[in-house]
Amino acid sequence: MGSKHKLKRFQENETFSRLLQPSREELLEGNFPLRGHWREEFFGNDHPIVLELGCGKGEYTVGLARRHPEKNFIGVDIKGARLWRGAKTVTEEGMPNAGFLRTQIELIDRCFAPDEVDEIWITFPDPQIKYRRTKHRLTGEGFLEKYTRILKKDGLIHLKTDSAFLHGYTLGLLHGLRHEVLYAQHDLYRDDNAPEELKTIQTFYEKKYLETQTPITYIRFRLKR
């Protein structure tokens, strides 16, 4: 994507009311006004909040929001050019139960208050295979601690990835830390009993992986307190 095209998207992002872009300084200083008030001030209801972390173009945020009007969905990513697609769709369709947040996921507990989130989706994140990057994996121990802070006690987390490495790493970590693994599948599309929306909502990258017959893995789990 050319720089002019990206600039145009960045400029259009500024016009989307359903896309928030707080500064890093604002979050670190504890001045983000929606923290603890997303339901009443952003969505205007008391419905459950579901996050898609590393959402890219927001395919799951948009797809789930269409299917579940009884829930609120927020896609989170740092890349504004990608977020543009989801934010534009939400704006054009006038979806009241979906929005986007541009920030680093390491600051997620600065954006949401304790027990404010009901569910988290992590869809096709960078597996960060190199050992020195362990702390950057979105299912690494440090991130799991952050999720524990913002999730309700029985909140669910979903990991969907093409990376057999990340799938195995996450399962091992979850078992080692005694978190509750509810369902794990190393080849999701071969499981006839898998929930329908796990297969019908597909990200941009997922479609590419399926074209090359790369197995898609999935884990659903809860974090112990």
The CA distance from 89 to 5, in Å, is 18
The CA distance from 82 to 198, in Å, is 22
Tokens of 210: 């399926």
Q: What amino acid is encoded at 172 in this protein?
A: G
- Burial group, residue 164, by CB count within 10 angstroms (0-12, 13-18, 19+): middle
> Do the annotations mark residue 218 as ligand-binding?
no
Rg (CA), the chain: 17
> Do the annotations mark residue 203 as ligand-binding?
yes
> Do the annotations mark residue 214 as ligand-binding?
no
> Do the annotations mark residue 115 as ligand-binding?
no
> Do the annotations mark residue 46 as ligand-binding?
no
Burial code of 104-128, b = ≥16 C-beta within 10 A, e = fewer?
Answer: ebebbbbbbeeebbbbbbbbbbebb
Contact 98, 41 (CB under 8 A): no
> Do the annotations mark residue 200 as ligand-binding?
no
Active site residues: 126
Tokens of 195: 């929930």
Residues pairing with 159 in the sheet: 122, 219
> Do the annotations mark residue 60 as ligand-binding?
no
Q: Report the binding-site residues for S-adenosyl-L-methionine.
A: 52, 77, 126
Q: Report the binding-site residues for substrate.
A: 130, 162, 203-206
Q: Report the binding-site residues.
A: 52, 77, 126, 130, 162, 203-206
